[in-house]
Structure 1
């Protein structure tokens, strides 16, 4: 099965070689291969606060340690039927999460 994707009537733009951004083309000054191979010394990357927070959270050294004794206690209470669900605590945490996510704050 073949699928053809058209440009949906959008104009086609050609990419100028050897130019950067909207500035004048310098194709005659530098060969296109040399400009593409060597990165500029002034290139920078700026991360948002959210991206920095995600990066910190993803670090392997910051991963929480699993408390195997607690896991085993929970497993046992589930197995013997003595685990109690605190519906009020669950509801409170769900409301707090909703408020953090930008909810209306009505509770």
Structure 2
């Protein structure tokens, strides 16, 4: 199974067929067909299940100004990437990965290491 990554870095998920007449208004450009009309009058209840990641993204979007994202830093990095002056520090990346591994495993890093 192949996973396609969207431009925001998150995996693209398969889109469910929307069975309500509002799908034509949502930008599909196609008029609602007979199947759409009968599905909207069938009275079936729709149900949505969100993953923990989706809940976290929704919460981050709701937080507004309290966002943990430093937008000034993001813009500085964006500009340095665009100009070709961004420098990668492989040691810092490795230290961060090892630290995350230790956090997930619930272990402490060895003395003198990450």
Q: TM-score, normalised by structure 1?
A: 0.37
Q: TM-score, normalised by structure 2?
A: 0.35
